[in-house]
C-alpha cells in the first residue's frame, strides 16, 4: 500500500510542480520497499538527477514516518527546508519531523540530524533499531570525518598549562620541541605537516592519568590511536600552529551504529564508490543495490581533451595550461570556471590570468562580472555552483586526484599499501571519479563545455575510466569561434 500511495501522491505533486527527472516514480517504489522491508539498500543515481530526486525520497517518508532518521549536510539541510518542504506543503503533504538533538522524537516523527548530531546521538545510545537515510552518501565519510575532527589551538595549550600547573615545564618543553620540528619541515606558508601519534601519547605519559576533562583535550586523549591521523597547520607569520586530529576511516568507530540500524544510501558517485569498500571492510552488506537512470539518456557534455598534451610532471606543463586557458577564455561572453585543487598552482594561475584579463579574474568568490573567470577548488565549486550563473565552460588544468601532500590522504594510502591492497584503484581513482562527476553534474544539459588539459587522460590506462565515467560526451576536436 505504501508504494501505491506514494505513486498517487507523487502524481498529485507533479500537478503543482514540473517533473524534471523521469525516474522519481521508480525511486518512490524503492524507498517504499526499503521502509517496509528494512533491508540495507544502496541506490546509485545518474548525474542528471541533480536535486530532482528529492520528491521521490520525501513523499514515501511523509506517508511512513516510523523510526526514520534523515542525516543531512548543511547544504542538504538548506535545500530541504528552503526549497523542498515548501513544495510539499503546496501539495498538501505533511513532513512531520523533529530537527536536532534538543528533543528526542517519538517513533512517529522523522528525525532530521546533522552529521555532528548523529555522532552525539549514537554516543548517547539514542540510535537503535532506526532506519538511517543518507542522501548523497558519496560525501558521507568526509562529513563524518569533519564532524569527528578535533582541533587544538594555542589557546588550548594555555588552558592545559593553567589547569595542570604542576606539569607546566614538561608541557612547554613538548610544545617547543614540536614547534621547532614542525617549522623546520615547512617550506611554504600555511603548510600542513604530519604529526606522529606518539606525540599525544607522550603528553598522556606526562600527565600521569590526570587527564583534562575539558574539550578538545579530553577528546584527543580518548580518541587518538593508529586509526587517527594528526597534523599541524602552520602560520609562518605568527610562528603558531593548530593541531588537527581526524579519524582515517570514520566508519571504523561507528560499527554499532551500522549494525544496529538499517541503512539507505543514495549516491551520485558513478560505478566506483570508495565508501562501499569501507563498508565492506566493516562487514556491512547491501542486499538491495540498484542503478537508477540511464546515462545514455543524459545530455552529452561537449568535452575538449586535446591530444599530445604534456604530463603534469614535465617542465613545460605550466606554460601549456596557461596558454590553453587563455585560448579557451578568449571571446567568451559568460563565466569561466577554472578548477584546480592544488592551492599553490591555483594562486599562481590566478595571478597569471589576472595579468592577461584583469579584474575579470577572481579567486573563490561568487561576486563576479558576467564574463568573470573564477579560479577555485573542486569542493568550492560544488558548494557554490548554485549561487553562480551558468558558465560557458569548466576548465580542469589537472585531473583532480587527491594529493599525497595531504596528511590524511597520505595516511590512507600508507594503510592500504600496508594491507597489500591497490591503493590507487581502490581509493584515489574512486575519489577522483566521484568529485569529477559531482563537478559536472550541475552543468550537464546546459551547453557548457568541459576542458581537461592533463596529458594523463590519454597517456595513462586509467584515463579511459575517466572518459567512461563522464559518458555521455561529444568530443571537441578544436576550438571554434564563439
Q: What is the pLDDT along the chain (482 residues), one digit of tens a residue?
A: 788 888 888 888 888 877 778 889 999 999 999 999 999 999 998 877 778 899 999 999 999 878 899 999 998 999 999 999 998 888 888 899 999 988 887 777 899 999 999 999 998 888 888 999 999 888 888 899 999 999 999 999 999 999 888 889 999 999 999 999 998 886 655 578 899 888 888 888 888 777 777 889 988 888 777 789 999 999 888 889 999 999 988 887 787 888 888 999 998 765 556 677 677 666 788 899 998 877 656 788 999 999 989 999 999 999 999 999 999 999 889 999 999 999 999 999 999 999 999 999 999 999 888 899 999 999 999 889 888 999 999 999 999 999 888 899 999 899 899 989 999 998 899 889 888 988 998 888 888 999 999 999 999 999 999 999 898 899 987 765 44
Give pLDDT, residue 188: 56
**pLDDT score of 442:** 83
Using an 8 Å Cβ cutoff, are 455 and 396 in contact?
no
CA separation, residue 98 to residues 76, 149, 402, 403 (Å) = 16, 26, 37, 40
| CA–CA separation, 295 and 46 (whole Å) | 6
With CA atoms as reference, report the closest residue to 139 among 447, 448, 458, 435. 435
Selection from 290, 286, 258, 308 nearest residue 130 by Cα:
258
- Cell digits of residue 467: 572518459
- Give dist(CA 72, CA 115) in Å, integer: 7
Domains 2-147+251-295 and 299-475 share a fold: yes
Q: What is the CA radius of gyration of the chain?
A: 24
pLDDT at residue 270 in the model: 59
**CB-based burial label for 384 (10 Å; 0-12, 13-18, 19+):** middle
Residue 135: how many CB atoms within 10 A of its CB?
24
Separation of alpha carbons 55 and 19, rounded Å: 10
The per-residue pLDDT for 147 is 92
CATH architecture of 299-475: 3-Layer(aba) Sandwich (3.40)
- The span from the CA of 249 to the CA of 382, in Å, is 23
Would you list the domain boundaries of the chain?
2-147+251-295, 148-247, 299-475
What's residue 302's pLDDT? 93
Residue with cell 544510501: 265
3-state secondary structure the chain: CHHHHHHHHHHHHHHHCCCCCCCHHHHHHHHHHHHHHCCCEEEEECHHHCCCCHHHHHHHHHHCCCCEEEEECHHHHHHHHHHHHHHHHHCCCCCCEEECCCCCCCCCCEEEEEHHHHHHHHHCCCCCCCEEEECCHHHHHHHHHHHHCEEECHHHHHHHHHHCHHHHHHHHHHHHHHHHHHHHHCCCCCCEEEECCHHHHHHHHHHCCCCCCCCCHHHHHHHCCCCEEEEEEEECCCCEEEEEEEECCHHHHHHHHHHCCEEEEEECCCCCCHHHHHHHHCCCCCCEEEEECCHHHCCCEEEECCCCCCCCCCCCHHHHHHHHHHHHHCCCCCCEEEECCCHHHHHHHHHHHHHHHHHHEEECCCCCCCCCEEEECHHHHHHHHHHCCCCCEEEECCCCCCCCCCHHHHHHHHHHHHCCCCHHHHHHHHHHHHHHHHHHHCCCCCCCEEEECCCHHHHCCCHHHHHHHCCCEEECCCCCCC
Contacts of 130 (CB under 8 A, 6+ apart): 67, 68, 69, 111, 261, 262
18, 21, 23, 27: CA torsion to nearest 10:
-80
- Burial of 206: CB neighbours in 10 Å, binned 0-12, 13-18, 19+: middle
User: What distance in Å separates the CA atoms of residue 443 and residue 3, rounded to the nearest whole number?
Assistant: 32
- What integer pLDDT is reported at residue 40 of this predicted model? 93
Exposure string of 338-372, with b = 16+ CB inside 10 Å and e = fewer, is: bbbbbeebbeebbebbbeebeebbbbeeeebeebb
Give the pLDDT of residue 482.
43
Class of domain 2-147+251-295: alpha beta
pLDDT attached to residue 66: 81
206 contacts 170 by C-beta, under 8 angstroms: yes
Contact 360, 371 (CB under 8 A): yes
Report the distance separating Cα 156 and Cα 244, nearest Å: 12
pLDDT of residue 39: 92
Amino acid at each position: 500500500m505504501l508504494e501505491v500511495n506514494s505513486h498517487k501522491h507523487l502524481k498529485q505533486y507533479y500537478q503543482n510542480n514540473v517533473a524534471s527527472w523521469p525516474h522519481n516514480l521508480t525511486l518512490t517504489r524503492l524507498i517504499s520497499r526499503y521502509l517496509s522491508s528494512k533491508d540495507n539498500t544502496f541506490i546509485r543515481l545518474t548525474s542528471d538527477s541533480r536535486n530532482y530526486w528529492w520528491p521521490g525520497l520525501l513523499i514515501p517518508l511523509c506517508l511512513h514516518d516510523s523510526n526514520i532518521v534523515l542525516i543531512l549536510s548543511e547544504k542538504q539541510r538548506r535545500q530541504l527546508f528552503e526549497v523542498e518542504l515548501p513544495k510539499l506543503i503546496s501539495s498538501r503533504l505533511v513532513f512531520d519531523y523533529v530537527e536536532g538533538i534538543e528533543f528526542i522524537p517519538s517513533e512517529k516523527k522523522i528525525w532530521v540530524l546533522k552529521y555532528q548530531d548523529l555522532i552525539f546521538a549514537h554516543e548517547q545510545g539514542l540510535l537503535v533499531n532506526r532506519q538511517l537515510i543518507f542522501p548523497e552518501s558519496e560525501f558521507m565519510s568526509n562529513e563524518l570525518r569533519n564532524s569527528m575532527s578535533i582541533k587544538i589551538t594555542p589557546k588550548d595549550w594555555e588552558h592545559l598549562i593553567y589547569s595542570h600547573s604542576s606539569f607546566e615545564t614538561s608541557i612547554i618543553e613538548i610544545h617547543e620541541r614540536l614547534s621547532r620540528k614542525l617549522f623546520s619541515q615547512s617550506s611554504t606558508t600555511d603548510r600542513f605537516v604530519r604529526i606522529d601519534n606518539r606525540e599525544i601519547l607522550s603528553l598522556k605519559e606526562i600527565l600521569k592519568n590526570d587527564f583534562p576533562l575539558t574539550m578538545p583535550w579530553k577528546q584527543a586523549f580518548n580518541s587518538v590511536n593508529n586509526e587517527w591521523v594528526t597534523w599541524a597547520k602552520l602560520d609562518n607569520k605568527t610562528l603558531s600552529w593548530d593541531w588537527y586530529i581526524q579519524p582515517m576511516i570514520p566508519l571504523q568507530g561507528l560499527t554499532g551504529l551500522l549494525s544496529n540500524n538499517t541503512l539507505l544510501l543514495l549516491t551520485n558517485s558513478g560505478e566506483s564508490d570508495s565508501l562501499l569498500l569501507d563498508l565492506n571492510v566493516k562487514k556491512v552488506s547491501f542486499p538491495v543495490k540498484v542503478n537508477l537512470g540511464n546515462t545514455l539518456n543524459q545530455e552529452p557534455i561537449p568535452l575538449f581533451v586535446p591530444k599530445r598534451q604534456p604530463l603534469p610532471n614535465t617542465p613545460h606543463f605550466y606554460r601549456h595550461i596557461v596558454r590553453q586557458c587563455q585560448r579557451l577564455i578568449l571571446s567568451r561572453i559568460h563565466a569561466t570556471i577554472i578548477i584546480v585543487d592544488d592551492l599553490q598552482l591555483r594562486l599562481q594561475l590566478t595571478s597569471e590570468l589576472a595579468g592577461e584579463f584583469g579584474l575579470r579574474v577572481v579567486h573563490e568568490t561568487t561576486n563576479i562580472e558576467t564574463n568573470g573567470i573564477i579560479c577555485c577548488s573542486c569542493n568550492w565549486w560544488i558548494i557554490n555552483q548554485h549561487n553562480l550563473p551558468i558558465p560557458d565552460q569548466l576548465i580542469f588544468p589537472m585531473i583532480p586526484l587527491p594529493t599525497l601532500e595531504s596528511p590524511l590522504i597520505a595516511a590512507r594510502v600508507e594503510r592500504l599499501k600496508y594491507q597489500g591492497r591497490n591503493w590507487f584503484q581502490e581509493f584515489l581513482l574512486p575519489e577522483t571519479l566521484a568529485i569529477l562527476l559531482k563537478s559536472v553534474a550541475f552543468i550537464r544539459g546546459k551547453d557548457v563545455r568541459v576542458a581537461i588539459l592533463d596529458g594523463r587522460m590519454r597517456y595513462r590506462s586509467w584515463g579511459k575510466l575517466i572518459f567512461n565515467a563522464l559518458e555521455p560526451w561529444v568530443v571537441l576536436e578544436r576550438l571554434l569561434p564563439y
